[in-house]
């Protein structure tokens, strides 16, 4: 998630230092852990794809089954899109399209995480999962800021022939 955007946040943008961001993350983790519900009940594991999607949306799936599959797919997708954009193989408009296509599944995933966070054995896992979903939106905000104010720093604008106007 933060492979390319966080170094730019600290070096080019400079709104916060790494220590300040760490303090905010720890405080937010504590608040989310304390406020997360806890039941610890065992859920059935007989799920098909249709039952899984609806069960996750309604909060009837274990937290680990909702968090990990989408987290891995999301991070791989964002890493590939950012790497291709940094190399100049992906245009700025295509990079925008990838992030826009992932936005609706991220909203679904966030709602599913918040609803399924009661189905874990430790409240800390629920707080961590909720913190990661909030970090995804922070990363999207950073990428929007980079796209609007710092495109020449992030994108390989020298190699973009068709979409060179987006680098200004």
- How many of the other CB atoms lie within 10 Å of CB of 93? 12
State the pLDDT at residue 136.
95
Higher pLDDT, 129 or 147: 129
State the pLDDT at residue 12.
81
State the pLDDT at residue 3.
83
pLDDT(50) > 90: no
State the pLDDT at residue 85.
86
pLDDT, one tens digit per residue, over 76-91 is 999 999 998 888 788 8
State the pLDDT at residue 37.
83
pLDDT(110) > 60: yes
pTM given for the model: 0.85
Phi, psi of 115 (to 5 degrees): -80, -35
pLDDT(155) > 70: yes
pLDDT-based confidence at residue 148 (cuts at 50, 70, 90): confident
**Share of the chain residues as helix, strand and coil, in percent rounded to the nearest 5:** 75, 0, 25
pLDDT(45) > 90: no
State the pLDDT at residue 23.
95
């Amino acid at each position: 998630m933060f492979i390319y955007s966080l170094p730019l946040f600290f070096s080019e943008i400079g709104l916060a230092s790494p220590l300040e961001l760490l303090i905010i993350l720890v405080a937010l983790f504590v608040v989310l852990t304390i406020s997360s519900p806890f039941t610890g009940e065992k859920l059935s594991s007989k799920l098909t794809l249709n039952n899984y999607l609806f069960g996750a949306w309604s909060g009837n799936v274990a937290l680990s089954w909702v968090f990990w599959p989408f987290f891995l797919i999301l991070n791989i997708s964002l890493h590939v899109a950012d790497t291709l954009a940094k190399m100049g193989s992906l245009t700025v408009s295509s990079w925008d399209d990838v992030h826009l296509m992932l936005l609706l599944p991220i909203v679904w995933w966030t709602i599913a995480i918040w609803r399924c966070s009661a189905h874990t054995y430790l409240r800390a896992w629920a707080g961590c999962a909720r913190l990661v979903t909030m970090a995804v939106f922070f990363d999207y905000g950073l990428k929007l800021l980079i796209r609007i104010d710092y495109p020449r720093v992030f994108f390989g604008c020298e190699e973009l022939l068709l979409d060179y106007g987006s680098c200004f």
